[in-house]
Amino acid sequence: MSWLPKSPKARRRLWIVAAAAPVLALAVGLSLWAMKDNVTYFFSPSEVTEEAAPVGRVIRLGGLVEAGSVVKGADGTVVFVVTDNVGTSTVSYHGDLPDLFREGQGIVAQGSFRPDRVFEASQVLAKHDETYMPREVADRLKEKGEWRPETGEAPPSQASRSL
């Protein structure tokens, strides 16, 4: 007994499906491969490694701006440290920061690492609400037991302060 259907119509449909399936799979595979350069991954400072975030790869880095770490240069460059209370990363940004950017605030910076492992941000995002924390950052801090979402506050060691 053959696994092929007895009906000529059913056999024709089976052959069409069998011919179309690899073409469709190839099209999906090529589409995913083409989009891989447009994907921006999110990392917290403790997850950033040379392998996960190589030099030049565009990523998003999120965490809390460490108290006392914001240094404004004369040329408009701002250097600050982002932390998730486990790891830290130095961020350099040239341009105007959001009005409500401050120490202890949860931020997300998009950019890439330089060879010296300083994160060169092309964009810095901060929300207007004083209890705002990016969802990814809150999730990572919650996993580590460093942030309590029911209180809506940053950990005691990272109390919010204005610049």
Whether 107 and 160 have beta carbons less than 8 Å apart is answered as no
94 is in an annotated binding site: no
Reduce the DSSP state of residue 10 to 3 states and report it: helix
What is the spatial distance between Cα 12 and Cα 1, in angstroms, rounded to a whole number?
19
41 is in an annotated binding site: no
User: How are beta strands 41-43 and 59-65 bridged, if at all?
Assistant: parallel
Whether 65 and 80 have beta carbons less than 8 Å apart is answered as yes
Q: Which two tokens stand for residue 114?
A: 């330089």
What is the residue whose two structure tokens read 């190589």?
Answer: 54
> Closest by alpha carbon to 162, among 108, 83, 103?
103
Name the H helices within 4-78. Answer: 8-35
Phi, psi (deg, nearest 5) at residue 50: -60, -35
Q: Which residues are annotated as a binding site?
A: 128, 132
Query: Binding site residues for heme, as ranges?
Result: 128, 132
